[in-house]
Amino acid sequence: MRTAQENEAGHIAGAVNIHFGELEARIDEISALKKSVIVVYCERGIRANIAEATLREAGFESIVHLQDDIFAWRKNGLPLE
């Protein structure tokens, strides 16, 4: 849910970034993951909250919003790629 610049500055290992503004257009691309656990995060939570609702409306069953987003991840010194 982050911009390309945000993602390049650091992301969680294995994360697949979909820019927030592209999510609705790319729902079909990720529809095979509807029964998988999907973790959403952005910088501070606003975009991820909206993305979580969008994914639920599209039928995704298990969405986890990373608590306090990448801001807290970085603040706690957790690894980024």
> How is the chain split into domains, by residue range?
4-75
Angstrom distance (rounded) from CA 31 to CA 20: 16
Residue keyed to tokens 């993305």: 51
Per residue in 28-47, pLDDT (tens digit) is 999 999 999 999 999 999 99
The predicted model gives 37-62 an average pLDDT of 96
Q: What is the CATH number of domain 4-75?
A: 3.40.250.10
Mean pLDDT of the chain: 95
What 8-state DSSP symbol labels residue 41? -
- Amino acid 8: pLDDT: 93
Per residue in 16-31, pLDDT (tens digit) is 999 989 999 999 999 9
Determine contact, residues 36/62, Cβ cutoff 8 Å: yes
How many CA atoms lie less than 13 Å away from 50 in the CB half-sphere?
Answer: 12
- Amino acid 20: pLDDT: 87
Determine contact, residues 48/1, Cβ cutoff 8 Å: yes
Q: Is the pLDDT of residue 15 over 90?
A: yes
Residue 21: both structure tokens together:
């503004």
